[in-house]
Chains A and B, each alone.
Chain A
Amino acid sequence: GAGVSQSPRYKVAKRGQDVALRCDPISGHVSLFWYQQALGQGPEFLTYFQNEAQLDKSGLPSDRFFAERPEGSVSTLKIQRTQQEDSAVYLCASSPLLDYGTQYFGPGTRLLVL
């Protein structure tokens, strides 16, 4: 079956621009996660949804970051007024309910802010 897909795969933004990153999880997966992976680092948790409910957004680095999953399927991570430090790979992952830690990752969106 289809895995997790993300779009765009690459995004170049000028500092101050707004960007929107999309994630299509595996069909039927209840849980959806966003991570930020800086160059040479492990992924860092940003936020988590169970269906359409955002249950944990403790990892969002500032109020410029916003995520939504309005119908419990596709999710969008929005970054407003991008800064150079936002340059990273943004990973999306999905998981069936209660399958602790077994997450299925997408290919990521590489964001470069100039």
Chain B
Amino acid sequence: AQTVTQSQPEMSVQEAETVTLSCTYDTSENNYYLFWYKQPPSRQMILVIRQEAYKQQNATENRFSVNFQKAAKSFSLKISDSQLGDTAMYFCAFLSRGSEKLVFGKGTKLTVNP
């Protein structure tokens, strides 16, 4: 069974600075997808960014980018120019190709300070 580990329960960053959230996963599969989801306080969870394992190029979405290290089974999220609205729980998630079952980590609570 796949597992996803987020080793940082809480992090904080100053507005406009850069922060990196860590995620590692365990799988014996070769084809899969990785995701970062954001859950703001009292608001719905939304997808931030996704990465297909077969793609070597790291995914980027505006201020959000990932560092995908397949051999190390590591998938970190970098948030540049942090904004107050980035304050949220961030969940790393894994999906096997051919499956529909997302496996989530326990989350990292990120606080952006003014």
Residues of A within 8 A of B (CB): 3-4, 31, 33, 40-45, 48, 50, 55-56, 58-59, 91, 93, 95, 100-103, 105-108
Contacts and interface: CB of A to CB of B under 8 A. Distances in A.
Given A101-B33, A102-B50, A103-B47, A56 B101 contact: yes
Contacts of B95: 100-101
Contacts of A50: 100
A26 to B, nearest CB: 12
Closest 7 CB pairs of A and B: A42-B104, A105-B45, A101-B95, A101-B33, A45-B101, A105-B44, A48-B100
Interface of B: 4, 33, 35, 43-47, 50, 91, 93, 95, 97, 100-107
A25 B89 CA distance: 23
Contacts of B101: 45, 48, 56, 58-59
Contacts of A59: 101
8 contacts: A31-B100, A41-B106, A42-B105, A43-B45, A45-B101, A45-B103, A50-B100, A56-B100
Nearest to B97: A100
A48 B103 CA distance: 13
B34 to A, nearest CB: 8
